[in-house]
Chain A
């Protein structure tokens, strides 16, 4: 017989019920969403190579290095006349003579134009790396699922198709976006820039990217699009935890006016705060309806649809709830919540005498 299948005393009954309760713990939805927002763009960074083949690159590099050294050592013995050799370039670097602005093709439909004294190299992941000076990139639109990345100090600049410049000085890295969208990553934090945005960050110290400032260059400035991070959503959660739902609402409203995952999360959370904390379910319905029209294919679309059904049922608005539930079944045929919604449809139809 399985353990606790037939509890013999109070202690075993307690263990049986609490273990079942623990197994059915739902968890903190907002925490899960925050984690999602911090990892959602991971596939934009190429997955690392398999460990089993990691030896190939070091082995090839070592072989090439040995061959190169041998070549340079043996070269004088094969050449009768002595020719002055150019100075060896810095490892992995492409120093360019002053007073030229050459264009270098980088593959993946990308080209870079380097200002005099700029140095372009390659980092350990074979990404182009701006080591010094200013480099202006033009990247053709990448196929679905692919991106083009440039390293600059501790940052990785990730693009799908755009024109942008990277400048590296002794202590700062800067990015100016002319066209398209650029993401500047440092570790697991990123800032998203659109055309006209400029951003600068420290080259060596710890702080992660911060929100962009409008460009001071001749490039037209975008309409003050906020670049926000998930820490702002945490502020809203903190306000809720502190029993200040109105403050949370204010933060979420501000965030929802932005773009990207944060705005989407905030747009959805507004409804939840209105319904669960401020007890305004009708307003929550309006908020989620707005969310859906703004993000018709949003990541939280299913949650928004379900929240609407749930709230309409609670409000006693059975016709609207039934319409929503039927639309849900048609819209999300593979949803894990299909069974729940089908049950609701059955009961609503029964209540309506259909």
Chain B
């Protein structure tokens, strides 16, 4: 065991912090799926532990507001469970879960925009008070969130998957259901727009 005895004793980082990629690698996703389908609650728990944090982070980065995030994540995992029997293993389980989460976030986004449009058109009510985000966010993160919200949903999804979730372009292509060239193109434009916005803010 590596032992570095200098410096203060480290306090554990927050639970389920994004690790270096080898998260509970003893059980493969395929085995987990099979066990879940057999009604194994432990396997279901393991699957949830493995993917709940990425799902929460991903839908948050796609613009699902804090007060809707919990319900959205619940819906994503219900959809995951319901679809497990159809999961053929052609793509990675993570890719498949991201696809479900992306669709759900996109649906919620459309619903939000539609509601906003209706309220503007018919009932000009004051903006409802937002629930405080339980995860403390720095002002930089808020600024980034604001910039991301100005990207088109397609560009935003690709950028978030690549730059925040760390997926490869071929996986992103499967998540968004577009050719890899299209993903590269959206990524290029999203980066350019984001840089432009950041430069404008920096001025």
Contacts and interface: CB of A to CB of B under 8 A. Distances in A.
Nearest to A144: B39
B198 A350 contact: no
Contacts of A50: 85-86
A25 interface: yes
Interface string A334-354: 111101111111111111000
A26 B53 contact: yes
A27 B135 CA distance: 6
Contact of A36 (B45, B85, B135): B45
A25 B4 CA distance: 27
A26 B39 contact: no
B164 A22 contact: yes
A37 to B, nearest CB: 10
Given A24-B17, A32-B53, A35-B73, A47 B37 contact: yes
Contacts of B198: 11-12, 14-15
A303 B2 CA distance: 24
Interface string A25-59: 11111111011101111111011111110000000
Contacts of B116: none
Contacts, number: 194
B5 A346 contact: yes
A329 B41 CA distance: 24
Contacts of B135: 25-28
A322 to B, nearest CB: 10
Contact of A43 (B5, B19, B41): B41
B13 A19 contact: no
B84 interface: yes
A10 B202 contact: yes
A30 B134 contact: yes
Nearest to A34: B70
Interface stretch (A174-182, A221-229, A251-259, A307-315): A307-315
Given A10-B202, A19-B164, A344 B16 contact: no
A23 B44 contact: no
B23 interface: yes
Contacts of A23: 18, 57, 163-166
A208 B11 CA distance: 43
Interface in B96-154: 131-132, 134-135, 138, 140-141, 143-144
A43 B47 CA distance: 12
A86 interface: no
A31 B56 contact: yes
B9 A51 contact: no
B18 A347 contact: no
Nearest to A30: B134
A241 B163 CA distance: 31
A39 B201 contact: no
Q: Identify which of A38, A39, A50, A346 gathers the most chain B CB atoms within 10 Å of its CB.
A: A39
B138 A31 contact: no
Contacts of A335: 24
Interface string B1-27: 111111101111111111100111010
Contacts of B70: 31, 34-35
B4 A346 contact: yes
B134 A36 contact: no
Contacts of A29: 14-16
Nearest to A10: B202
A48 B82 contact: yes
Contacts of A241: 131-132, 134
A22 B61 contact: yes
A29 B135 CA distance: 9
B47 to A, nearest CB: 10
Given A9-B199, A31-B69, A42 B19 contact: no
B144 A47 contact: no
Contacts of B17: 24, 26
A47 B191 contact: no
A21 B9 contact: no
Contacts of B56: 27-28, 31-32
Contacts of A219: none
Contacts of A44: 39, 41
Interface string B27-49: 00000000011111101110010
Report the 6 A-B pairs with minimum CB-CB distance, sorted nearest first.
Answer: A350-B5, A145-B39, A346-B3, A11-B198, A28-B134, A26-B14
Interface of A: 3, 9-12, 14-15, 17-19, 21-32, 34-36, 38-44, 46-52, 144-147, 188, 237, 241, 299, 303, 306, 309-310, 313-314, 318, 321, 334-337, 339-351
Given A26-B16, A43-B41, 10 more contacts: A22-B164, A26-B17, A27-B53, A31-B56, A32-B73, A35-B77, A43-B44, A241-B134, A334-B24, A350-B6
